[in-house]
Structure 1
Amino acid sequence: MSSSFDKFQKRRLITSYFSVVLSVFLVLFLLGTLGFFIVNSKKVADDFKEGIAMSVYFKDEAKDTTLVKFANELKASKFAKTYKFVSKDDAAKEHTDIIGENFMEFLGVNPLQNSYDIHIKADYVVGDSIVKIERKLRENKLIADIVYDKQLVNMVNDNVKRVSMWILIISGFLAVIAVLLINSSMRLSIYANRFIIKTMQMVGATKAFIRKPFIWRSVKLGMIGAGIAIVALLGGLFYLDSVFPTLGLLNDKLTIIAILLAVFGMGVLITWLSTYFATQRFLNLRTDDLY
């Protein structure tokens, strides 16, 4: 009879440990995923912004020296991420490929202009900054026109602000839920040992002495759950990087390490605090209230 009861208690204890590790893993994996999403959402938004090209067209009287000088100015500028010179002949060939016929045969001349396609850094692809860049470039009297999708720039910036706000709201909401879930699991684990806690207290053990083994056990379970979450997060990152290599998810190693350390630290901190307050609650209860 005693043996079967001991087996039952052991199974119940193992189930309790498993539920704590599982809840810690799921919550920390969710928070870690959210952290990576927040970091990489800015990267994706920046890549999209930098994909918007500004085309600068030069008048026919602009000589090669003028075009080379402009390229040097772009190279020295803070706003230009990349730039490419497109000669009028290359532009004609591209148009011919798109249209499917040589338009110069019936026009007799090439009406297109030499140009530079400029991809601007993401920090400058905002309403005021990009307008200032356009105004500065137009000071060159040999520039015929500057073309870029102004409506797309405004739409991207508005959407980025809107999405960023919702990400912050959802992050805060999920963080609160995460703490409550782990706290609930830890309290249930301590609840199963409430009679042991009270017995130790009745024989003269101090509160700190009683709390110590429970806190240490919970921290170890939190470390195990955090470790599993870190492995799962790394696996997910490597998989996504293989599917979407252009995003460069593994390039910023310092950010990845910081997020993983934060996940591990939260696993330890939340389990420590939850166990501390849960044991403190049962230590302060009267014996009659345990039932």
Structure 2
Amino acid sequence: MAKDPKKYKRKKKLGSYHYVSVIFSAALALFVIGLFGTLILQANKLTSIIKQNIELQVYLNKDISNSQRSRIEREIASSDYILLTNGKAEMTFISKEEAAQQFVEDTGEDFTEFLGDNPLRDALTIKINESHQSNDDLETIKSQIQRISGVFEVTYVKNLADSINDNLAKLSLLLIGIATVLVIVVLLLINNAIKLALFSQRFLIRSMQLVGAKSSFIRMPFLKRSLLHGALAGLIASGLLYGLKQFANGQVKGLEQLQQQELVIALYGLLIALGAIIAYFSTLRAMNKYLKMSLDELY
């Protein structure tokens, strides 16, 4: 009875190797990079939110008229140091009556009962954009506003901006350092996974050389497959990140506010491109190595 030829070991095809393990290893490595990239994006968004809360309190003279207050608001709103949101200056007017009411709500004590008068002043709360948040800039802004007619006093929490900037700078350096180490580790992992996978093809590569095939002809199938497998690994990593993001959003309230959809999509595209590029050059490096090996070294 004739034996089924399919039961025998199949002939190896040029450019083929155990790609499942390579894709799996690369996807996990890229997932770690993507996860850390997501953390960096959210940290940057959180940094921006923190900086948007740096404020100046502008107290006005007690006898100021509505027209004078409007003039002060217009002058401050037209300055380059004020934070703009959708083209609108981030400035809030708080009357002395509102301030007194808020004080009563916070403390439970009505100071007007024993003082007989409200000593508080009308005030403007203005937010400063990120380019003018150093202590020197805030002092300059304070001096400029205090020179405006009708302004009694300008106050802010000194050293807060510099403290925030210093801490955020240290955090950024730490994140960049960790990201650099992660990228190097990922490069090594993917490179070693591909090199081990191609190890099984070393004799097929030598056979092609012996029949006169050019190195470029031998490399081409491997390089084409490496691009496909690397991109697929990046796609899988992006899918895992998306699933994790959706799960985290459902578990952590307010987390979506730290996510910028355009940057997240760009990160996914970067992972796919990074996977393809790393796989391509790792394959090219391994192929050049095996093409230059002698027969004794192949064993």
Task: Tell whether the structures are fold-level matches, with TM greater than 0.5.
Answer: yes
Alignment length (residue pairs): 285
**Structure 1 residues 35-77: Cα deviation after superposition (integer angstroms, max 9, x where no partner):** 3333332221121011122111112122221211122123322
What's the offset of the Cα at 1:84? 0.6
2:76 to 74, 89, 97: 74
Secondary structure of residue in 1 paired with 2:159 = helix
Change (3 A) 1:43 1:222: same
Q: Retained in 2: the 8 A contact 1:45–1:160?
A: yes
CA distance in 1, matches of 2:79, 2:38: 32
1:273 equivalent to 2:281? Answer yes
Q: Which residue of 2 aligns with 1:131?
A: 139
Task: Give the conservation status (yes or no) of the 8 Å contact 2:142–2:154.
Answer: yes
1:218 to 221, 226, 234: 226
Cα deviation digits, residues 9-46 of structure 1 (max 9, x gap): 9xxx88x3222112211222222233333333222112
- 1:143-188 CA distance string (max 9 Å, x none): 2222221132221011011112222222222111111111111101
Alignment deviations for residues 70-105 of structure 1 (CA, whole Å, 9 cap, x no partner): 221233222222111000000000001111121101
CA distance in 1, matches of 2:40, 2:27: 20
- C-alpha distance in structure 2 between counterparts of 1:94 and 1:244, whole Å: 27
1:247 partnered with 2:257: yes
Query: TM-score w.r.t. structure 2 length?
Result: 0.87
1:287 to 283, 292, 295: 295
Distance in 2 (alpha carbons) for counterparts of 1:125 and 1:240: 33
Which amino acid in structure 2 is aligned with residue 74 of structure 1?
Answer: I
Secondary structure of residue in 2 paired with 1:80: coil
User: Where does the alignment leave 5 or more consecutive residues of structure 2 unmatched?
Assistant: 84-89
| Equivalent position of 1:190 in the other structure | 198
Of stretches 145-154 and 113-122 in structure 1, the one that deviates more from structure 2 is 145-154
The residue that corresponds to 1:178 in the other structure is 186
CA distance in 1, matches of 2:143, 2:248: 41
Aligned counterpart, 1:105: 113
Give the equivalent residue in structure 2 for 1:163: 171
Partner of 1:39: 41
The answer to whether the 8 A contact 2:57-2:126 is kept is yes
Q: TM-score, normalised by structure 1?
A: 0.89
- Matched with 2:87 is none
Q: Distance in 2 between matches of 1:37 and 1:123?
A: 24
**How far apart, CA to CA, are the structure 1 residues paired with 2:210 and 2:185?**
36
Structure that is richer in helix per residue: 1
Report what 2:86 is aligned to: none
Q: Structure 1 206/257 Cα, relative in aligned 2: closer, same or farther at 3 Å?
A: same
* SS class of match (2:152): strand
SS class of match (2:127): strand
Distance 1:111 1:248 in 2: 41
Comparing 258-267 with 158-167, greater Cα deviation is found at 258-267
2: CA distance, partners of 1:239 / 1:134: 46
Counterpart contact for 1:237–1:250, Cα < 8 Å: no
The one of 78, 85, 91 equivalent to 2:93 is 85
Moved more, 110-119 or 26-35: 26-35
Whether contact under 8 Å (1:241, 1:247) holds in the other structure is no
CA contact (8 A) 1:237 1:249 kept: no
Q: Is the 8 A contact 2:219 2:287 kept in 1?
A: yes
In structure 2, distance between residues paired with 1:237 and 1:118: 35
Q: Which residue of 2 aligns with 1:64?
A: 66
Q: CA deviation at 1:245?
A: 5.1
For residues 210-241 of structure 1, the C-alpha deviation after alignment (integer angstroms, 9 at most, x for no partner) is 11122222222112101111222333444555
Overall identity of the aligned pairs, in %: 29
